[in-house]
Amino acid sequence: MMDQRYSIQEFIQATEQQDKGQGLFELETPRFLEVNLEGKVWAKTGSMISYRGQVKFTREGILEHGIGKMFKKALTGEGTTLMKASGSGKLYLADQGKKISILNLQGESLFVNGNDLLAFEETIDWDIKLMKRIAGIISGGLFNVKLKGIGMVAITSHYEPLTLLVEPGNPVYTDPNATVAWSGNLSPEFVTDISLKTFFGRGSGESIQMKFEGHGFVVVQPFEEVYYSQQS
């Protein structure tokens, strides 16, 4: 009798795309974002894996978001650019196999490490925020994007993210290279501790920590991102 295990049909049934009816953004798998596109969304350039339907991709224009954002992007030297997907169809996005989390903003604001922002609705307002105190200390510098409004946002993390609650009088310290996102009401400080240089992180800024105080949350990942300077 022929063994039916591991047949092509079994593989197809186990991995076939499924419509879950979850709206604009849905997790097809923990590492595939399905966008049920009817209009426009912003996505990280290079994150498109597949699509069907009438979808057009446009690279972010130099002046599309105003001279201020263009100037700040030049200052940060960041390499992450956005593409606009418009039309009608199904779009599948992914970023180096990282785990994807969907957040539905209801007027809240959120800071996301620029490297960990996968996609967001056009209804979301965003702006690049400079980390002046740390630029040049960590190779390539760090930047983050502030997102605010009503709509869906997809962020990524290496492996499962961990959310730490920040409470008054009980600050949270994180490795900048492992910090994914934090609530929009928090303004982290950068502190150094030479005594931790051998133990805290492995990058050039290993003695530098982000200090979060107040009331909110911060999301970290069990992985240290490596940032490369565009000048290198």
- Per-position pLDDT tens, the chain of length 232: 566 788 899 999 999 998 887 789 999 999 999 999 999 999 999 999 999 999 999 986 554 555 455 444 544 444 457 899 999 999 999 999 999 999 999 999 999 998 899 999 999 999 887 665 554 455 444 678 999 999 999 999 999 999 999 999 999 999 988 999 999 999 899 888 766 655 555 554 457 889 999 999 999 999 988 754 433 3
Per-residue confidence (pLDDT) for residue 122, from 0 to 100 = 94
CATH number at residue 188: 3.60.160.10
- Counting the structural domains of the chain, the total is 1
Buried residues in 48-70 as b, exposed as e (16+ CB within 10 A)? beebeeebeeeebeeeebeeebb
CA distances from 14 to 11, 96, 214 (A): 5, 22, 46
Kindly state whether residue 158 falls inside one of the protein's structural domains. Answer: yes
The model's pTM? 0.84
Closest CA to 78 of 169, 145, 6: 145
| pLDDT computed for residue 140 by the predictor | 42
Residue 8 within any structural domain of the chain: no
Domain assignment of residue 6, yes or no: no
Query: 90 lies in a domain?
Result: yes
- Domain with 88 in it: 22-220
